[in-house]
Amino acid sequence: MPAPLWPAPVAPGPVVATVPLPGSKSMTNRALLLAALADGPSTVHGALRSRDADLMVAALRALGAELTSTGRGASAADWHVVPHAIRGGASIDVGLAGTVMRFVPPVAALAAEPVAFDGDPQARVRPMGPILSALRSLGADVHGDALPFTISGPLTGGEVTLDASASSQLVSGLLLAAPRFAKGVIVRHDGPPVPSMPHIEMTTAMLRAAGVSVDDTEPDIWRVEPGPIAAHDVTVEPDLSNAAPFLGAAAITGGGVTVPGWPEHTTQPGDALRGLLADMGATVTRGPEGLTVSGGGGLTGIDADLHDVGELTPSVAALAALADSPSTLRGVAHLRGHETDRLAALATEINGLGGDVTETEDGLVIRPRPLRAGVFRSYADHRMATAGAMIGLAVPGVQVEDIATTAKTLPEFARMWALMLGDGR
Ligand SMILES: O=C(O)C1=C[C@@H](OP(=O)(O)O)[C@@H](O)[C@H](O)C1
Ligand SMILES: C=C(OP(=O)(O)O)C(=O)O
């Protein structure tokens, strides 16, 4: 059955709104996993509730951890996590969540009994080979080189070299569980540059906050000492990558959008939105009420290397398609292994509305053209769906296929978008 079409609302005028955002997917799933491996009970405050977070909760429960939540509305929760010995004999659904498919197998490898992993059809083509080979060489028994696969341990840990150029999560996954490996881990990357380095810094920062000794002083080498992961309470920051469509709405319509609780210092790559939106002509200010982006002076194209902040690409591409000069987005070849081949998907869908986008080996060249009504397909990719919504603010008659796919990280997206376009404040 074809997915329903969502008529993307056109902005009735400059969008003026304050948009509180639920917790970061990346921090939520790291915090829950570390809590499940810790030396006592912890609470994760302000965690995201979404498909990816729910899949992480289900995976950790299947491996023996006890997680109970106090709801905080549709997309937020406080989780009380009680760790228990990791046990296998389970089947785990990773959905389309990179954080579940790369972070949970090293945890499963702590158990002797086999654990089976599978996910959505599109998950079966996402890069897994390097982390599965690494786990094999660290002592796990692994059947398969991609989803579906089965893994059993217990692994011992030690030194391993892998090519993590396809995804930073291949490194983060090994590091997060490593304190619990008998020998810890030394991970060496050998290959083209690792993308999304801020996400690896998020991993090392959260490990250190749990008392783990991590040495990342040499480029492309990470050493994690074996030892306890300290139980501690964590408060998750708002999801700054999910701020992109909302802040972008201010830039597109010449309005002003505020996101409360924008952290002063953060490892989230979404913080790069401040510079990217300013480079495209918006005014970015920080005040006690949060981070505010104001538009009004038009949108300028940019030449940007998004290698470190690849997950912002769909939103930046949507802005670029509506700008008044061409843009070149580079450094994001790894996006071909995200939820879908995002470079192909963005070029196809923007061109389907009359745009002029060409794919390069590692990015996109976007020449703005007057766009027209049409269907914008989302390919089960939450960030494609929100990119379509952004274009629809300025182009009447855009219909986004399967807006519900935003549930991966922001189940309330359509309602929040409508609220932003209403009186907002
Ligand atoms: O570790 C994480 O939480 C993430 C790392 C990045 O993955 P890649 O390095 O595969 O781009 C990012 O794109 C993804 O959305 C979340
Ligand atoms: C690439 C993304 O997700 P995942 O965690 O599934 O890799 C993303 O959210 O943009």
Instruction: Report if residue 233 sits inside a domain.
Output: no
Residue 160 has phi, psi (to 5 degrees) of -150, 145
Ligand 1: residue whose CA is nearest its atom 12: 311
Residues 126 and 246 in one domain: no
Q: For ligand 2, say whether the CB of 331 is within 6 Å of any of its atoms.
A: no
CA 195 to ligand 1 centroid distance, Å: 8
User: What pLDDT does 66 receive?
Assistant: 98
| Whether 215 and 315 share a structural domain | no
Nearest CA to ligand 2 atom 9: 311
Report if residue 229 sits inside a domain.
Answer: no
Q: Which atom of ligand 1 is nearest to the CA of 172?
A: 1
Nearest to 66 by CA among 91, 88, 85, 92: 85
100 within some domain: yes
Task: Check if the beta carbon of residue 255 is closer than 8 Å to that of residue 16.
Answer: yes
Measured N-to-C along each axis, helices 382-394 and 244-253 cross at an angle, to the nearest 10 degrees, of: 10
Kindly state the average pLDDT of the residues 42-61: 98
Query: Residue 181 sits in a domain of what CATH number?
Result: 3.65.10.10
Ligand nearest to the CA of 101: 2
Instruction: Please check the confidence at residue 140 and state whether its pLDDT lies above 70.
Output: yes
d(CA 49, CA 43): 15
Q: Minimal CA–CA distance to 409: which of 121, 22, 4? A: 22
| Longest alpha-carbon distance in the chain | 61
Which atom of ligand 1 approaches the CA of 102 most closely? Answer: 1
Q: Domain total for the chain?
A: 2
Name the residue of 52, 194, 311 to mutate for ligand 1: max ligand atoms within 8 A of Cβ. Answer: 311
pLDDT at 291 over 60: yes
Asked if residue 353 and residue 287 are part of one domain, the reply reads yes
Tokens of 115: 């654990």
Residue 245 placed within a domain: yes
Residues 32 and 166 in one domain: yes
Choosing from 48, 168, 308 the residue with most ligand 1 atoms within 8 A of its CB, the one to mutate for a pocket test is 168
Residue where a domain stops, chosen among 171, 201, 224: 224
- 277 falls within a domain: yes
Q: Based on the number of CB atoms within 10 Å of its own CB, is 250 exposed (0-12), middle (13-18) or buried (19 or more)? A: buried
Do 219 and 247 lie in one domain? The reply is: no
Q: Tell whether 274 and 409 lie within a shared domain.
A: yes
Q: Which of these three, 171, 200, 224, is where a domain ends? A: 224
Residues annotated within the binding site are: 25-26, 30, 98, 126, 167-169, 196, 311, 338, 342, 383, 408
Look at residue 75 and tell me if it is in a domain.
yes
User: Alpha-carbon distance 201 to 225, whole Å?
Assistant: 17
Q: CA angle at residue 337 from 336 to 342, to 5 degrees?
A: 40
Q: Which of 224, 255, 287 is where one domain is finished? A: 224
Domain co-membership, 275 together with 139: no
Q: What are the tokens at 384?
A: 């494609």
* 390 Cα distance to chain centroid: 19
Q: Which one, of 32, 3, 59, 23, lies nearest residue 261 by Cα?
A: 23
pLDDT tier for residue 386 given thresholds of 50, 70 and 90: very high
Same domain, 212 and 267: no
pLDDT band at residue 9 using 50, 70 and 90 as cut-offs: very high
What is the ipTM for the molecules in this complex?
Answer: 0.99
Are the CB atoms for 106 and 178 separated by under 8 Å? yes
C-alpha closest to that of 95 among 116, 115, 123, 75: 123
Q: Which helix (H) or strand (E) holds 418?
A: helix 413-421
Phi then psi dihedrals of residue 48, to 5 deg = -70, 140
Nearest protein CA to atom 4 of ligand 2, as residue? 98
**Range with the poorest average pLDDT among 64-68, 276-280, 295-299, 325-329:** 295-299
Inform me whether the pLDDT recorded for 340 exceeds 50. Answer: yes
Distance, CA of 91 to CA of 118 (rounded, Å) = 8
What mean pLDDT do residues 276-295 have? 97
- 170: confidence class by pLDDT, cuts 50, 70, 90: very high
Q: Is residue 202 within a helix (H) or strand (E), and if so which, with residue range?
A: helix 197-209
**Is 181 in the same domain as 43?**
yes
- Alpha carbons 260 and 287: distance in angstroms, whole number: 9
Does any ligand 2 atom lie closer than 6 A to the CB of residue 97?
yes
Cα–Cα nearest to 194, from 223, 160, 170, 218: 170
Dihedral sign, Cα of residue 72, residue 78, residue 84, residue 85: positive
- The number of the ligand nearest the C-alpha atom of 382 reads 2
Residue numbers in the known binding site for 3-phosphoshikimate are: 25-26, 30, 167-169, 196, 311, 338
Same domain, 67 and 189: yes
Q: Is the CB of residue 311 below 6 angstroms from any atom belonging to ligand 2?
A: yes
For residue 411, being part of any structural domain is answered with yes
Ligand closest to Cα of 168 equals 1
pLDDT at 424: 41
Ligand nearest to the CA of 51: 2
Average of per-residue pLDDT values in the chain: 97
**23: which DSSP letter?**
B
Distance 373 CA to ligand 1 centre (A): 32
pLDDT computed for residue 425 by the predictor: 38
Burial of 405 (0-12, 13-18, 19+ CB in 10 A): buried
Over residues 219-238, mean pLDDT: 98
Asked whether residue 231 is assigned to any structural domain, the reply reads no
Please give the distance, rounded to the nearest whole angstrom, from the Cα atom of residue 423 to the centre of ligand 2. Answer: 31
Q: Which of 113, 264, 289, 311 is catalytic?
A: 311
Chain center to CA of 77: 18
Q: How confident is residue 31, by pLDDT bands cut at 50, 70 and 90?
A: very high
pLDDT of residue 407: 98
Same domain, 417 and 275: yes
Distance 168 CA to ligand 1 centre (A): 6
Q: Is 199 in the pocket of ligand 1 (CB under 6 A)?
A: yes
Percentage of the chain modeled with pLDDT above 90 = 97
pLDDT at 71 exceeding the cut of 90? no
Chain mean position to CA 40: 28
DSSP letter string over 282-325? -EEEEETTEEEEE--S-----EEE-GGGGGGHHHHHHHHHTSSS
Helical axes 413-421 vs 382-394, angle rounded to 10°: 20
The values of phi and psi at residue 396, to 5°, are -60, 140
Mean of pLDDT values over 249-277: 98
* 51, 334, 339, best to mutate for ligand 2 pocket (most atoms within 8 Å of CB): 339
Q: Which residues are annotated as a binding site for phosphoenolpyruvate?
A: 25, 98, 126, 169, 342, 383, 408
Is residue 167 in contact with ligand 1, taking CB distance under 6 Å? yes
Q: How far is the CA of 170 from the centre of ligand 1 (A)?
A: 9
Summarize pLDDT for 177-219 with one digit per residue, the tens: 999 999 999 999 999 999 999 999 999 999 999 999 999 999 9
**Beta carbons within 8 Å of 125's beta carbon, 6+ residues apart:** 146, 337
Render pLDDT for 243-252 as a digit per residue (tens, 0 to 9). 999 999 999 9
Question: How far is it, in rounded angstroms, from Cα 387 to Cα 392?
Answer: 9
Whether the CB of 98 sits within 6 Å of ligand 2: yes
Establish whether 311 is a catalytic residue. Answer: yes
Q: How many other C-beta atoms can be found within 10 angstroms of the C-beta atom of residue 162?
A: 22
**pLDDT exceeds cutoff 70 at 269:** yes
Ligand 1: centre distance to CA 191 (Å): 18
Domain of residue 365, residue span: 5-21+238-421
User: Does 29 lie in the same domain as 17?
Assistant: no
Task: Please state the rounded mean pLDDT for residues 378-402.
Answer: 98
